Amino acid sequence: MTKLLILGANGQIAKLVVPMLANTDTEIKLTSLHARPEKGIKGLDAVDEDAMIAALKDVDIVYANIGAEGRQKAAANSVVNAMHHVGVKRLIWVATIGVHNELPADKRSLWVNILGTIDNENTYMGDQAAAVKRIEQSALDYTIVRPNELIDDNVMQSLQIQIARDAEIIGRPITRTSVAAFITQIILHPESYIGDSVAISEKLTQ
């Protein structure tokens, strides 16, 4: 049995992953910054390293879908340190496209105006990029998942998967359902995409 710790279980994508893992050999521990006992979600601040260490007991895989705006780097540092301390190796971390400066030219200026730049950690994009850098410099078996612009349609799409970090993003906006399915497959096949930063979009049709 695989024992999975979810960070950010209140998030929209994580809520879709959980039922997708039903009827699989997976034991799930749900945590989020804000506890929801009626949903089985325990309170856990990922920035609190001691609390992370305690939460990692008997865990095989950490799936982090943290909406800690302004604290992504701090959360990543805490998660990495705690995982090293306990000896848990497998991490799936959801970031955003743009953390490798790989946005298409026609969208770059707009996103910079809204989200900031990767070299300024005081912006959303900079904080996201710093978190990803911390994870990539770790000795963990990580996978960074970088979804394209998210949409809520309950549709399973064909995916455009790009592993090269500096490859300009191609493909269309992606549904949260499709992102959740991709993450679920990594959880079920943890040997996949180790050491990769994977951008996913809806595949372009001819």
Residue-level pLDDT at 67: 79
Reading the block at residue 114, the tokens are 């809204």
91: which strand partners? 62, 142
Helix or strand or coil: residue 39? Answer: helix
Closest by CA to 155, choosing from 126, 130, 180, is 180
- pLDDT tens digits, 17-36: 999 999 999 999 999 999 99
DSSP 20: H
- pLDDT tens digits, 4-18: 999 999 999 999 999
* Integer Rg of the chain from CA: 16
Residue-level pLDDT at 204: 85
Give the pairing of strands 61-64 and 90-94. Answer: parallel
CB 70 within 8 A of CB 125: no
Q: What is the mean pLDDT of residues 182-199?
A: 98
Q: What is the mean pLDDT of residues 75-101?
A: 97
- pLDDT tens digits, 93-126: 999 999 999 988 888 888 888 889 999 999 999 9
CB 5 within 8 A of CB 31: yes
Give the pLDDT band of residue 181 (cuts 50, 70, 90): very high
φ, ψ for residue 138 (rounded to 5)? -80, 175
DSSP 200: E
* Nearest-angstrom CA–CA distance, 92 and 144: 6
Average pLDDT, the chain: 95
